[in-house]
Structures are given as structure tokens and as C-alpha cells.
Copies of this chain bind each other. A is one copy, B any other.
């Protein structure tokens, strides 16, 4: 069958089941239900601290076929996922489903577990490195299921994704399971992505390299949700967890795009008192923030909040009084960790509060402007950040689809051509985010407004910005690079891309050997 975006999707996918096709970004809203969690209540004298990861697995009743979960605040410095799977592998358990909010190159050992049938399923919002390549090559028994950050929270809360055992990487944990991530050698700040796991898993284990006496205030994840605690030498490599600094691009093309983007924001009329803003940690995104900052200073604008994964650059804007508050689901650098620790208006948020479409209102709904990336964008404004031009998985939505759906102005910023290939195409290889939720595309050669946004078209038409149709941008690119050859993929589905509401927006097919 074809879904509403014209993507060809099987009605039933082996190892996934029946497909609920994507029907539009806001079609699933209305009455929803959370799952009834079943768990063991604790006797007052319960001792939660166990001696080893193996002990926690045994106490939690690990067995073939279970789903275990992880979160990615330690990013490419995370040791926890690998440590737990090494124990599972030694115990002879198999057919495990790994629900990790994101998977990075450091998780390469998963590839061997996939080949051996120890790991047969993966749920993630973002996958890069050897695991992504192995999935694209058909090495995982069942198709990987790719969520958005908010969609993962929704799936966990609703029971679409039931977690048997959640493992929480805990930079600081007390003997009764209270966790914070603002203290300890592996301090990573907000633990937003781990909160649905802790609240909805049947069993939850805290793995810490900083076991402290009770209570570990300020508590980010409460003892109410933790069954067991285990101490290890190290939960991660500090160098991989937080970068020392995040830097604005020096590339003139990136700066040009950023400057143009700031002018789009200004022309939109949203840049006024109460302004709210989110951007990623990439060099061009930060450059947009820098130009926005100049405009805010010049016009004495007092914004309401910045949100998302938070960088030191956003903290600087906050500390200068340009934003009244920060909503933080994940800290990208040390400055962000420190601010989150020390400032009560640097507010933590769970993945659900951040972007879950099935609650009473996520933070993304209050965003004025969101700056997004793209590996491809098609003439219907559908964006791909899941696969590269070869069809290989190299990312995933993360918060892309969530913020695009919520923000009043979702802007994709990208160079028109990357690696000698046009970024604007007829049909993206994979749809991550539907075009109806993207408002503007800014490239160094011109700016395209989604025809659905007539109001915005009118406003931008009054400026001297180079506004043109997205088809024109595609032609400009193709005139420079030629029309790229169509890639050929095998029919086999290796990953299912779920939109934030759990419907299937696209599938990823196996790449040819």
C-alpha cells in the first residue's frame, strides 16, 4: 500500500507486524490512554544495592525474548549498553530486543550480538556508525524500529513499546535508587530521555560510578521507580559524554545561510518579546543562534525560552537575559551541565514533556522557531535525516519531527549541494519528517517557502530575500551536479520509520552488498 505521502509500504512487515499507515501529522490526536504498569512494591527493609550487573539481571529475571532499554545521555562515551549486553551474552540469553534512545559508534559490539542472534530487535530514535551499517546490510533479524524522541516516550507510555528491564546510566545514585546527573565524574546534566523508561518499565536498574549515601539530592529520577542499584568502575568516557565547547561555524557558506535564516525569522514577525527558540549543536545552527542573538540585543527583545538539547551557547543567551528560561532534555557540553545544576530556571524536561504528541501539551507546541537540518528535502518539503544518499542508515529523527510539528516556524537550513549531490530532490530516499510540518527551506542559493504557508510567503515577499520555489532550487542544484542516479535497494525492509504517533511514515530497505 501507499501511505498519504505516497510511500510504498507493505501492509504487514515480517518481524514488525501490521502497519498503521501515516495519515497526517495531527490525525492521531484526541483520546489516548497510558498503559497500566505492573511491578513489585518494596518492603521497607529492602536493600537495593547489588554486587554486579549479572546479579541485577538475575534478580530482574532476564530471559530470552525480553526488551531492555537504555538512554543516550552519555552519547558516544556510553559504556553501559555494552557492559549489560556483554553480561547477557555470557549468560547465554538470546533474542533480546534493545530499546536504546540512540545508538552511536561506541556501540559497535552490538553488531556481533546481532549476528549471533543474541540481539534480534532494535528500537532507537537515532542510529549512527557500525550498528547502522549492519542494520542497513540486513544483519538484524527483525526490522529496526525508528522512533522520534517524543514518539519513543509515547510508545513507552502507551504500551506500544513495553520494556521489561530499563537500565539507567546514573552519574550519581544513592543506595535507594535516587539518581542525579549533575554530580559525579560522569555528570551529564538532564536525564530527560530516561524518564519514561524509569516510569514505565517493569524493572529498572540504576548503574552508577558514583554511589553515594542517601539521599542523592537534587533528585532527577526518584527511588519510586528503581528496583536495583549496581556500582561499576565507570559508566562512560568523559571525553565522549560532553564536549568541552561547541563552536560556531567559520565556513562562509554556513555563515551566509545562517544570516539569511535570521532574516527569515525577523521577517516572520515572531522575533518579539516572548520569543522561543530551538536549534541543534551544529556549527551552522549555532551561527543562526548568534545572528538571532544580535537581533535580540539590537531590538531589546526578551525571549521566553530556549529548548532542546542544550549547548553552552544557549546558556550564554539565557544568562545574558535574552531568554527567561531553558527547557533541557539533554546537555551537550559542560557549560550546559553547570547551568542546569546551578540555575532553577534552567528547567529539566522529560522526553514526554519535550515532544510526546499524546500528552496534554508538549514543550515543542510552544516553540516559535525551530532550526532543523536535512540530508535530503523533496519538492513536497518532506525531509530525510534517517538515511544517506546511498540508502544507508546514518541518523534518525531524534527531535526533528517533534519540533517540526510543534513549532510555529520550522526552518530547514542546509547547503544546496553536499558531497557533489543536490540536497533538494524529487523524492527523498526516506521520509523522516512530513513536509506539512516544514515551513521554510534556507540554502545559500535561495529560500523556499512551503506553499501551505501563504501568510509567510506574503511576509517574506516584502523583503529582499531570494525567495523562490523549491522546484527552482532543485533545478539550480541539478544544473550544477546533474540529476543524481536513482539508488537501487533490495525489497527487504531493514527498518520501519514510525512517525511520532506510531504510524509508519516510511520504511528503510536493505542496501545492495
Contacts and interface: CB of A to CB of B under 8 A. Distances in A.
A360 B29 contact: no
B31 A358 contact: no
The count of identical subunits is 2
Interface in A320-337: 324-325, 327
A216 to B, nearest CB: 9
Given A34-B37, A40-B31, A325 B217 contact: yes
B215 A327 contact: yes
A234 interface: no
Interface of A: 26, 29-46, 48, 176-177, 204, 213-215, 217-219, 222-227, 274, 304-305, 324-325, 327, 344-345, 347, 349, 352-353, 356-366, 405-406
Given A214-B304, A226-B360, 10 more contacts: A33-B38, A41-B359, A41-B360, A42-B361, A44-B405, A214-B366, A215-B325, A215-B366, A217-B345, A224-B352
A42 B347 contact: no
A212 B188 CA distance: 31
A214 B274 CA distance: 8
B223 A42 contact: no
Task: Report, nearest first, the 7 A-B pairs whose CB atoms are least far apart.
Answer: A42-B361, A44-B365, A218-B344, A36-B36, A224-B359, A41-B358, A217-B345
A161 to B, nearest CB: 15
A362 to B, nearest CB: 7
Identify the interface centre among A36, A46, A224, A362: most chain B CB within 10 Å of its CB. Answer: A224
Given A218-B347, A226-B360, A42 B177 contact: no
Contacts of A352: 224
Contacts of A365: 42, 44-46, 176
A29 B357 CA distance: 35
